Structure 1
Amino acid sequence: MIRLQDWIDEFQGDPDYEFDKLAVEVGEQIFARMEELGMTQADLARQMGVSRARISQILRGNDNLTLKSIVGVAIGLESRVDVQLKPVRSIGRLSRRDCRPVIRMGAHMVGEDPPASVLAAAA
């Protein structure tokens, strides 16, 4: 039987996996900041001048956001964006931590949990 971590390790460094993981992490950060501010999706949509459906898309991670869109969300959440590219520490098999992209929104660091889609697929 394959372990979840083995399955996750297999996809480390795969561009599609890394993109999906990052999209979910960004959505989680946005949602956490909204909760801190007591802001609803409708509130954020009004703040940004977009539809509530657009905010829902962003939160689900179903969209390839541009940097401009991410900055717009951050401004709507009274935050700023800080993107860092982290070097891979070893050649060969990459660890989950080595591959993990880092995006900060305000003081919030992205989580390290795998995306829900990965957990559901492994179940």
Structure 2
Amino acid sequence: MLLNQLSGLWQESIQDPEFRFELKAQKVSVDLASAFTNTGMSQKELAEKLGWRTSRVSKVLHGGSNLTLRTLFDICEAMQTDFDIEIDGQSQLKQEIEIVKMKSEQLSELIGAVWRKKELASTQQQPLVNMQAYSFAS
């Protein structure tokens, strides 16, 4: 089933450290871009505050750059916002993977139940259809 293939592909991909890095980097980029949007500033204004070119700001906000903590700090300072980093025993990514696995299993069960119900309904309706056809022909 397609869902099982997708689940398998996800499980395979998540084993790759580069893939996991890209997921983390994209999350930071999305969060940073969201915070930037909330400031109401233009990229030009942020670039001026940082002493950067507008193209560098654009690259950073669109995930095209591997940010250092210092760069992230400087950007947040210029936007008058803050950021936190959490490090714990069970990462958010691992929790999300478990949720995806559970949801894919539940979805597979639900799809199976729907098909079983459809097949049952089909077999139960067959005698009724036959009786109606017989009545109509008589």
TM-score range, shorter chain: 0.5 to 0.7
Aligned with residue 61 of structure 1, among 42, 60, 63: 63
Deviations, residues 13-65 of structure 1 (Å, cap 9, x unaligned):
53211221122111111211122111121121111111111111112212111
**1:86-101 matched pairs, under 5 angstroms:** 86-88=88-90, 95=94, 97=96
The structure with the larger Rg is 2
Helix, strand or coil for the counterpart of 1:81? coil
- Show structure 2 runs of 5+ residues with no match: 99-138
When you count helix as a share of all residues, which structure comes out higher?
A: 2
**1:1-123 matched pairs, under 5 angstroms:** 1=2, 2-3=5-6, 5-88=7-90, 95=94, 97=96
TM-score (norm 1): 0.64
Which of structures 1 and 2 has the larger relative contact order (alpha carbons within 8 angstroms, sep 6+)? 1
Q: Distance in 2 between matches of 1:97 and 1:15?
A: 16
Tell me by how many angstroms 1:6 deviates. Answer: 3.4
Give the length in aligned residue pairs.
94
Paired position in structure 2 for 1:103: none
TM-score (norm 2): 0.58
Q: Distance in 1 between matches of 2:76 and 2:26?
A: 16
CA contact (8 A) 1:23 1:62 kept: no
- Show structure 1 runs of 5+ residues with no match: 100-123
When you count strand as a share of all residues, which structure comes out higher?
A: 1
CA contact (8 A) 2:50 2:74 kept: yes
What percentage of aligned pairs have identical amino acids? 23
